[in-house]
Homo-oligomer: A and B are copies of this chain.
Amino acid sequence: MTDRTGLELRSLITSAGELTLSLEEVAVPDPGPGKVVVRIEASPLNPSDLGLLLGPADLSGMKASGTADRPVLTAPVPEGRLKHVAARLDQSMPVGNEGAGTVIAAGEGAEGLMGKRVAMLGGSMYAQYRTLPAAACLPLPDGATAAEGASAFVNPLTALSMVETMRAEGHKALIHTAAASNLGQMLNRICLADGVKLVNIVRKPEQAEILRGIGAEYICDSSDPDFEAKLADAIEATGATIAFDAIGGGKLAGQILAAMETALSKGMEYSRYGSSVRKQVYIYGSLDLGPTIIDRSFGLSWATGGYLLTNFLAAASPEVRDRMRNRVAAELTTTFASHYAGELSLAEALDPATVETYQRKATGVKYLITPAKGL
């Protein structure tokens, strides 16, 4: 038995309207049967983590306090936004969906993982140590670094689930927005390997360049004045009738549906209800937190809605889940390779200037938290 403790990053929003990020010393339970303790070496700052980490705080009001070893960051949360986080108010929340590290203790039945480097999914990863079930760990190939294994779940499984969903719902090609992201690049490599046609929507010419460099064929830049016409052309060429949108806010989801309808209507007899082909846009991210604005100009055979990997996996058959996990393990450093702009210690992750950088979620500016360093 040990009395191990470790630092854990916590996010707290009070009902008085203040966000506080801090590092708390927490007990690390010894591993019971089937469990392991992992020393966490790398954990990505994914957009899905930032929502929990920063909430709807007004970051222009960030203030640093505390000490170098135990920094504290505070920021005001405007009163009008508190209702969106009512269910988490006044609770100190651990953060970090996924990560990688080394097993330093193993309970009964999990001894085979002792000393192994593993990837993990399960929350509370912005911490020095994590006790969790062996089944939540994916052993990494020999020689793989923690950085290579840090993003083995969220992005790879989400990208694979998009292709699975496309097939399961009877579509034959797909559309992806924010397409130059780490996830977008994985999706391009999957689609190229599998012969699936993919329309990539980006917001800047340099993002188009990244995608051309990895062999993407269909790229539409939403900053192009002819964006809607070019998107309709790409949809006509590919037959894409399903899209996965990381942006969420603004008019993009509606523009995609309208472009699908334009492509489907060519040569079709007029129907006041539009084409009868189902047009689907799934919103899986909120890079734009503003409202989704859908200008309904495309008949009645359309759908949009939220998309969450967890829901997909809960509904998927064990065969589908195994197929996805096995492919990630086999292609971790190729198809599913991620790129990071840098590494941050737990303390560095609370520095206001650093927060300002990573909260922008800009393409190519994803950071890894490396809790084993610098503390």
A residues engaging B (CB < 8 A)? 48, 51-52, 83-84, 86-88, 91, 93, 248-249, 254, 265, 268-274, 276, 283-284, 286, 289, 291-297, 299-308, 310-311, 314
Contact assessment for B292 and A301 in the assembled complex, using a CB-CB cutoff below 8 Å: no
Tell me whether A91 and B270 are in contact (CB under 8 A).
yes
Taking a contact as CB atoms under 8 Å apart, the answer to whether B303 and A272 are in contact is no
Q: Once the chains bind, are A268 and B87 in contact (CB under 8 Å)?
A: yes
- Select which of B52, B88, B299, B304 is within 8 A of A304 by beta carbon: B304
| The one of B248, B249, B254, B303 that contacts A306, using a Cβ cutoff of 8 Å | B303
Given contacts A248-B296, A291-B294, A311-B276, contact A265 B304 (CB under 8 A): no
Judge whether B51 and A272 touch: CB under 8 Å.
Answer: yes
Known: A52-B272, A87-B265. A291 touches B284 (CB 8 A): no
Give the copy number: 2
A87 engages B270 (CB within 8 Å) = yes
Q: How far is the CB of A367 from chain B (nearest CB, A)?
A: 19
The answer to whether B305 and A302 touch across the interface, beta carbons within 8 angstroms, is yes
Contact of A294 among B86, B294, B301, B302 (CB under 8 A): B294
Top-9 shortest CB links A-B? A303-B305, A300-B306, A87-B270, A300-B308, A88-B270, A292-B294, A291-B295, A52-B272, A84-B297
Q: Would A291 and B296 be within 8 Å (CB), given that A51-B272, A310-B273 are in contact?
A: yes
Q: How far is the CA of A52 from the CA of B272 in the complex (A)?
A: 6
CB of A232 to closest CB in B, whole Å: 12
Instruction: With CB as the reference atom, state the residue of chain B lying closest to A271.
Output: B87
- Tell me, in angstroms, the Cα distance from A204 to B322 when the chains sit together: 54
**Contacting pair B306 A311 (CB below 8 A):** no
By a CB distance below 8 angstroms, the chain B residues around A87 are 265, 268-271
Instruction: Report chain B residues within 8 Å CB of A249.
Output: 296
- Interface CB pairs A-B, < 8 A, 29: A51-B272, A83-B297, A86-B265, A87-B265, A87-B271, A88-B272, A249-B296, A254-B291, A273-B308, A273-B310, A276-B311, A276-B314, A283-B296, A284-B300, A286-B296, A289-B296, A291-B295, A292-B294, A294-B294, A296-B306, A300-B307, A300-B308, A300-B311, A301-B308, A301-B311, A303-B303, A303-B306, A304-B304, A305-B305
Report the bound CA distance from A292 to B286 in whole Å.
17
Q: Please measure, in the bound complex, the distance between the C-alpha atom of A301 and the C-alpha atom of B309, giving whole angstroms.
A: 11
Q: How far is the CB of A167 from chain B (nearest CB, A)?
A: 19
Neighbouring B residues of A276 by C-beta, 8 Å: 310-311, 314
Which B residues lie within 8 Å of A283 (CB)? 296, 300
In whole angstroms, what is the CA distance A270 to B249 when docked?
Answer: 23
Which of chain B's residues have a CB closer than 8 A to the CB of A248?
296
> Which residues of B sit under 8 angstroms from A306, Cβ to Cβ?
274, 296, 299-303
In the assembled complex, the Cα of A238 lies from the Cα of B84 at a distance in Å of 23
A265 CB to nearest chain B CB (Å): 5
Max chain B Cβ within 10 angstroms of own Cβ: one of A51, A292, A302? A292
**Contacts of A296 on B, CB cut-off 8 Å?**
248-249, 283, 286, 289, 291-292, 306
CB proximity of A21 to chain B, nearest CB, Å: 15
Known A-B contacts: A284-B300, A292-B294, A301-B308. Give 10 more (CB < 8 A). A51-B272, A88-B272, A273-B310, A276-B310, A283-B296, A291-B293, A300-B308, A300-B311, A303-B304, A303-B305
Give the distance in Å from the alpha carbon of A94 to the alpha carbon of B284 in the complex.
Answer: 42
* Assembled-state Cα–Cα distance A271/B93 (Å): 10
A56 to chain B: closest residue by CB: B297
Distance in Å: Cβ of A54 to nearest Cβ of chain B:
11
Alpha-carbon distance between A88 and B270 when the two chains are bound, in angstroms: 5
